[in-house]
Amino acid sequence: MSETFDAMVITDAGERKTKAEVTALSLADLPDYPVLVEISHSTVNFKDGLAITGKGRIARRLPMIAGIDLAGTVVESASPDWKPGDKVICNGWGLSETEQGAYAKYQRLKPEWLLPLPEAFTPEQAMAIGTAGYTAALCVQALLDWGKISKEGPDVLVTGAAGGVGSVAIALLGSMGYPVTAVTGRPETHEYLSGLGAKSFLDRAEIAEAGKPLQAERWAGAVDVVGSHTLANVLAQTCYGGAVAACGLAGGADLPATVMPHILRGVALLGVDSVMAPMEKRKAAWKLLADHLDPALLSSVYSVHPFAELPQLAADIIGGKIRGRVVVEI
Ligand code: NDP
């Protein structure tokens, strides 16, 4: 075990700003939780991008090791639930917000935060999925539980299609045989999205502005990562009795909508949170991914990068330049 190791640490930069710096830490700098994990892979989610660039205040105390997702191997455990050599993953649970995060060679974690690495995936693949992909699975599971999407159609709509959540949602729905319309602002990604399983496309500008409270019924269900007018329009276009699983705010945290789709068409707005999702939901989401996500499709969704590229990757995800998912080797 090396005496010191590099970590990406968020610190106070004054004037209510934060900065991210690679800092040498030792095991003594880590929290006093029972399970020590050697981290092999992490990823960059939208929230990680906000934390590293300082564009969003993610850490609620400083200094804070950034990174919300990790895959690795247990090195020491004072918990009966885990033993050295166990391969594990951890998504969310406040990592990089209230708890020290994933961008470090080692981290000490609570046993109840960990899941065994699913047999279907390598650590690299699990991080290619990461919080974005597992959130996509939570959204798809919410639509399946609602019971209105059908392989015969109408289509399921996925917004922010070329991003992390969107890409995995399309791959998952496509692999399961559901017809998908993808909403993207990047026409150059159409071929990539078709490869994942998208059958039709909508330019994101078409649903980005304020629209009528009720519009033509088009979608059996939807996964929305954008929020704001986009979500309001998606609700207004959802078929009678359908549901929209909403998890993101890439286009804004507001929701300028009316109750009309809900009270006249029985449309449901299903809120999806990954950070504090209970273990049963997490297990179901990872099982859905293991059972239905085509490994060949997954390999087309991500690229692998060294730790040193974290600042650039963070800037790129905030700039909307990342296609699909990235894996970071720790
Ligand atoms: P990405 O940056 O990978 O993808 C977001 C996509 O949204 C972009 O690729 C783009 O898609 C689209 N987009 C970006 N800006 C706008 C805009 N102004 N208007 C319309 N569309 C836009 O992020 P992730 O997929 O990782 O995350 C997506 C959202 O989900 C984020 O808001 C994130 O915070 C949230 N999230 C929430 C979680 C939860 O627990 N609730 C967990 C994980 C993520 P395209 O280029 O195709 O147009």
**C-alpha 205 – ligand 1 centre gap (Å):** 15
pLDDT digits (tens, 9 = 90+) for 172-226: 999 999 999 999 999 999 999 999 999 999 999 999 999 999 999 999 999 999 9
pLDDT score recorded for residue 229: 98
Q: Which amino acid is present at 317?
A: I
Cβ–ligand 1 distance for 132 under 6 Å, the answer yes
Cβ–ligand 1 distance for 237 under 6 Å, the answer no
Three-state secondary-structure class, residue 147 = coil
**C-alpha 32 – ligand 1 centre gap (Å):** 34
Q: What is the mean pLDDT of residues 17-32?
A: 96
Q: What is the mean pLDDT of residues 27-51?
A: 97
Range list of H helices, the chain: 46-53, 123-146, 164-175, 190-196, 228-237, 260-265, 279-292, 295-301, 310-318
Phi, psi for 264 (deg, rounded to 5): -105, -20
Q: Which of 61-70, 114-123, 294-303 has the lowest mean pLDDT?
A: 294-303
Cβ–ligand 1 distance for 251 under 6 Å, the answer yes
Mutate which of 134, 165, 229 to test ligand 1's pocket (most atoms within 8 Å of Cβ)?
A: 165
pLDDT exceeds cutoff 80 at 105: yes
Q: What is the mean pLDDT of residues 256-274?
A: 98
pTM: 0.96
Rounded-to-10 torsion of CA 98, 103, 108, 110: 50
Domains identified in the chain and CATH numbers? 5-117+300-329 (3.90.180.10), 131-271 (3.40.50.720)
Residue pair 37/100 in contact by the 8 Å Cβ criterion: no
pLDDT digits (tens, 9 = 90+) for 278-322: 999 999 999 999 999 988 899 999 999 999 999 999 999 999 999
Whole-number Å distance between alpha carbons of 191 and 138: 26
Measured at the CA of 43, the angle between CA 41 and CA 44, to 5 degrees, comes to 155
Cβ–ligand 1 distance for 250 under 6 Å, the answer yes
pLDDT digits (tens, 9 = 90+) for 212-235: 999 999 999 999 999 999 999 999
In this structure, the residue with its CA closest to atom 43 of ligand 1 is 132
Whole-number Å distance between alpha carbons of 137 and 281: 10
pLDDT exceeds cutoff 80 at 1: no
Q: Which of 61-70, 128-137, 268-277, 292-301 has the lowest mean pLDDT?
A: 292-301
Q: What is the mean pLDDT of residues 96-118?
A: 98
Report the mean per-residue pLDDT for the chain.
97
Q: What is the mean pLDDT of residues 222-249?
A: 98
pLDDT exceeds cutoff 80 at 45: yes
E strand or H helix at 244, and its extent? strand 238-246
| pLDDT confidence bin for 16, thresholds 50/70/90 | confident
Which residues are registered as beta bridge partners of 71? Answer: 41, 89
Give which of 59, 61, 62, 127 is closest to 90, Cα–Cα: 127
pLDDT score recorded for residue 259: 98
What's CA 148's distance to the chain center, in Å? 24
Q: Which amino acid is present at 7?
A: A
pLDDT score recorded for residue 2: 58
pLDDT exceeds cutoff 70 at 53: yes
Tokens representing residue 185 in the block = 């602002």
Q: Quick one: what percent of the chain has pLDDT higher than 90?
A: 95
| pLDDT confidence bin for 248, thresholds 50/70/90 | very high
Residue pair 222/238 in contact by the 8 Å Cβ criterion: yes
pLDDT exceeds cutoff 80 at 102: yes
Q: What is the mean pLDDT of residues 237-242?
A: 98
Q: What is the mean pLDDT of residues 237-252?
A: 97
